[in-house]
Chain A
Amino acid sequence: MTAVTANAPRPGRPARLAPPTQGRGEALLLLGPAALYLIAFSIYPLVTSLVRSFQDYNTTKNTWRWIGFRNYEDLFTSSEFWTVVKNTLILTTVGVAIQVVVGTALALFFNQNLRGSAIVRGILILPMLLTPIVVGLMWRALLNPEWGLLNWVAVELGFGYVGWLSDSHVALWTLVLVDSWQWTPFVFVVVYARLQALPQEVFEAGSVDGASWFQRTRMLTLPLLMPAIVFAAIFRGIDAFRTFDLVFGLTNGGPVQSTSTLSFEGFQNGFEFQRYGYASAVSYVMVIAAAIGITFLLRVVRVRRVDVAT
């Protein structure tokens, strides 16, 4: 996986004035502890994971046996795996697309600076901070087949009863819905901040020229917002690709794997069924896919030094 920073030259850094060896001791002192820590608790496990993906774990004897590509063969020939791939891709594409569109629309809406909108903005930040297991709980209550509020509303409005979590054709879309409830605010916050930072004169010039709100938004505002939108979409995409906790909290992958994701598949096989080798293969497919995806995305869009945290 490529780092976002690696390609973009950082401003304010003189081009190699000092020979590379100078400051080596200092670098070692400052960087060494963090580097050692990550070698022990990130790089080493990641390498182990790769090795394990070619092995089979014997639960009773606690031993590992080399089986070559068998885990991967099992994986690629199992229909369950492809269902899970499809689910993950729907979450990462359709889900993120919804969140980007709605989040951007929200940012434009809040740009009117209505009185009281600061409170609503405060509310919108909350969903993405909530403990995922509780997000799942909230929505399982809202969507409960017997007494959940949403089915009552659906029936009152004449849509009839919906098997939000029990119908295998609907459950994945319910997952997309809840994921969007939780993460649309992320796109909103990023895009809105960019919108607030734009110089207001640009818009004033636009309205003097007699352009309508719609024209100004399409020709002026959206292009200026594009870097923020792309940034939000990439980060959201990466996170959606590894969705685990919402599945765990909301559906447990069911009914019949219809909402399972790659992360969840790895988790279930690894921790619940103790098929560590197979689970490692699942997670390595993810690592490789993510690496390819991110490298490709960064080639196409060239994000410059982005830093973000969620």
Chain B
Amino acid sequence: MSGRVVGRVISYVVLVLIGLAGIAPFVYLLILSFKSRIDVLTVPPDLHFDWSTIQENYRTVIHDQHYVTFVVNSIIVTGVSTLIALGLGVPAAYAFSRLRFRGADTWASTILSFRFMPPIAVAIPIFLMIRSLGLVDSQFGLILPYVAFSLPLVIWIMIGFFDEIPREIDESAMVDGLTRPLVLLRVLLPLARPGMLVAATFGVIFVWNEFLVGLYIVNSTDRETIPIAASSLLTVESPIDWNLAATVGILTVIPILIFSMVVQRYIVRGITAGAVR
């Protein structure tokens, strides 16, 4: 009996250690963001915090470094890209799930293989393209490639969800006189809502974090999204005020953390869809 108790205790110790390993880097960054520039250098960091220093750090980042502008830009770019990707991707996924047409498999393979493509392979030509279209330093210049990157993801996720909806539902609606696009719009979209939420969740996370393509497309402060701004504020080489860098980091990830708590079940569903079936 006591052996089992010991086992339990060990299990709980391991559980706590796993949790700590997951969250410690984040907490460490949070602590640094509460320190003055000098106090960062104290190892291990003492847990005495000064409210005025905290205010000072966050005020500096939020006001002097245009954090609010970046958040607004990020929300616009992420929202518009995700909506366009859903608008284009959902009908396409529906077609792949239901219709039999020549070249269907080739198209499906081509589109889905973009899920595997290294972004750098298109980043350079896309940058040159955006440049020749005169869209450098505009939000539209970011949205165009971001839609292209999220689209395969959306199509892939949605095919899975449409396949789960029985075809009889479409067929009976068509007997009632609806055309395919109307069936999709009126009958299937409400049924496919969880799928669209999963697809939107992953579209949002991808676009919110993206900076490889965006870094060179956008270069003025009032157009930058959070990660693009953060990557220029936090480059590896530049000497940085660590307390402010940490504050930028915390303010960058807080929106995505809140978002992911709200949509946690869609995240797990998206990651495991298909693997568990």
A residues apposed to B, CB below 8 Å: 1-6, 10-13, 16-18, 20-21, 23-24, 26-27, 29-31, 33-35, 37-38, 41-46, 48-49, 52, 106, 109, 112, 114, 116-117, 119-120, 122-127, 129-142, 144, 146-149, 152, 181, 185-186, 189-190, 193-194, 197, 227-228, 231-232, 238, 241-242, 244-245, 248-252, 254, 262-263, 266-267, 270-271, 276, 279-280, 282-284, 286-287, 290-291, 294, 305-310
Q: Which residues of A contact B124 (CB under 8 A)?
A: 49, 52, 266, 270-271, 276, 279-280, 283
Among B108, B180, B249, the residue within 8 A (CB) of A6 is B108
Would you give 26 A-B contacts (Cβ < 8 Å), ordered by A? A3-B110, A3-B111, A38-B114, A38-B148, A46-B122, A114-B11, A116-B15, A130-B253, A136-B236, A138-B28, A152-B44, A193-B268, A193-B271, A194-B272, A194-B276, A245-B211, A248-B212, A250-B236, A263-B118, A276-B124, A280-B125, A283-B118, A305-B274, A306-B275, A307-B156, A307-B273
CA distance A30 to B105 in the complex (A): 16
Q: A138-B249, A276-B124, A310-B271 are in contact. Are A42 and B114 (CB under 8 A)?
A: yes
In the complex, are the beta carbons of B44 and A238 less than 8 A apart? no
Q: A1-B116, A6-B108, A131-B256 are in contact. Are A27 and B127 (CB under 8 A)?
A: no
Q: Which residues of B contact A146 (CB under 8 A)?
A: 41
CA distance A140 to B127 in the complex (A): 29
In the complex, are the beta carbons of A34 and B100 less than 8 A apart? no
Instruction: Tell which of B52-60, B61-69, B90-98 binds the partner.
Output: B90-98
Interface residues of B in 246-277 (CB under 8 A from A): 246, 248-249, 252-253, 256-257, 260-261, 264, 267-268, 270-276
CA distance A262 to B267 in the complex (A): 29
In the complex, are the beta carbons of B125 and A3 less than 8 A apart? no
Chain B CB count within 10 A is highest, among A4, A10, A242, A307, for A307
Contacts beyond the supplied A45-B125, A129-B267: 14 A-B pairs with Cβ under 8 Å: A3-B112, A46-B121, A114-B11, A132-B227, A134-B253, A139-B25, A149-B45, A266-B121, A266-B124, A270-B120, A276-B128, A280-B124, A283-B118, A308-B274
Q: Which residues of A contact B42 (CB under 8 A)?
A: 147
CA distance A127 to B216 in the complex (A): 26
Distance in Å: Cβ of B118 to nearest Cβ of chain A: 4
In the complex, are the beta carbons of A33 and B88 less than 8 A apart? yes
In the complex, are the beta carbons of B230 and A287 less than 8 A apart? no
In the complex, are the beta carbons of B148 and A41 less than 8 A apart? yes
Count A/B pairs, Cβ under 8 Å.
345
CA distance A132 to B222 in the complex (A): 22
Distance in Å: Cβ of A224 to nearest Cβ of chain B: 12
In the complex, are the beta carbons of B256 and A49 less than 8 A apart? no
Distance in Å: Cβ of B199 to nearest Cβ of chain A: 8
Does any Cβ of A come within 8 Å of B189's Cβ?
Answer: no
Interface flags, B200-237, vs A, CB<8A=1, else 0: 00100100110110011000000000110011001111
Q: A20-B102, A27-B95, A114-B15 are in contact. Are A35 and B264 (CB under 8 A)?
A: no
Q: A30-B181, A34-B155 are in contact. Are A232 and B88 (CB under 8 A)?
A: no
Chain A CB count within 10 A is highest, among B23, B163, B276, for B276
Q: What range describes how many residues of B lie at the interface?
A: 35 or more
Task: Output the nearest chain A residue to B179 by Cβ-Cβ distance.
Answer: A26
Does any Cβ of A come within 8 Å of B126's Cβ?
Answer: yes
Task: Output the nearest chain A residue to B101 by Cβ-Cβ distance.
Answer: A27
Among A16, A30, A131, A309, the residue within 8 A (CB) of B100 is A16
In the complex, are the beta carbons of B236 and A23 less than 8 A apart? no
Interface residues of B in 164-213 (CB under 8 A from A): 166-167, 179-181, 184, 198-199, 202, 205, 208-209, 211-212
Task: Identify the 4 closest CB pairs spanning chains A and B, nearest first.
Answer: A3-B109, A41-B148, A1-B113, A34-B92
Does any Cβ of A come within 8 Å of B19's Cβ?
Answer: yes
CA distance A282 to B155 in the complex (A): 28
Does any Cβ of A come within 8 Å of B153's Cβ?
Answer: yes
Q: Which residues of A contact B270 (CB under 8 A)?
A: 308-309
Chain A CB count within 10 A is highest, among B102, B116, B209, B264, for B116
CA distance A5 to B116 in the complex (A): 13
Interface flags, B143-172, vs A, CB<8A=1, else 0: 011011001110111011001001100000
Chain B CB count within 10 A is highest, among A34, A135, A251, for A34
In the complex, are the beta carbons of A252 and B235 less than 8 A apart? yes
Chain B CB count within 10 A is highest, among A3, A48, A134, for A134
Does any Cβ of A come within 8 Å of B40's Cβ?
Answer: yes
Task: Output the nearest chain B residue to A43 by Cβ-Cβ distance.
Answer: B110
Q: A109-B14, A123-B19, A193-B272 are in contact. Are A48 and B96 (CB under 8 A)?
A: no
